[in-house]
Amino acid sequence: MSRIVLTYGTFDLFHVGHLNLLRNLRALGDRLIVGVSTDEFNLKKGKQTVIPFADRLDIVQSLKCVDMTLAETGWAQKADDIRRLGVAVFGMGDDWRGHFDTLRPLCEVVYLPRTPGISSSALKHCLARPAPAA
Ligand code: C2G
């Protein structure tokens, strides 16, 4: 019986913080399933993504440490996904600490340390800065 780990995220401008989290979550079980937020859901989260959903999904699905992806279309799908997929561990970065404790009756819930010094929003600001005069 494989020990399935589940997480969700936007994964915009994919970076090493995302990679560290996914690798560390994968190490907690035998299979890692990742829900990638759709562009529409990100708007509800108040996030304007740079990379479209189809490309973000493709990048995450291509990672060696990821076994399956699914679309995250809203906040409320987690419990159903956990039951349907037989998830043993639900994990997120610790900026989410406490937010998903209501899932504890369904599976283990873990919050792993974020990678310091990198974020999609910081990368977006770098992209938005005007290039220095030549
Ligand atoms: N993360 C990390 N280290 C960073 C940046 C992000 O560990 N330097 C983690 C976050 O804690 C999160 C995951 O990477 O667990 C994805 O981060 P985002 O793409 O920013 O996802 P988010 O907007 O937090 O969406 O229902 C849950 C939401 O979809 C989470």
User: Mean pLDDT by 10-residue block, N- to C-terminus, for the chain (134 residues)?
Assistant: 96 98 98 98 94 98 98 98 98 98 98 96 87 79
Give, for ligand 1, the residue of 22, 80, 114 to mutate: max count of ligand atoms closer than 8 Å to Cβ: 114
pLDDT at 127: 85
pLDDT of residue 133: 81
35: domain CATH number is 3.40.50.620
In a domain, 56, yes or no: yes
Domains contained in the chain, number: 1
Output the six-digit token pair for 94.
């610790």
- 134 within domain boundaries: no
Q: What spacing in Å lies between the alpha carbon of 92 and ligand 1's midpoint? A: 7
Beta-strand relationship, 68-72 and 87-93: unpaired
pLDDT value for 60: 98
Q: Is residue 9 part of a domain?
A: yes
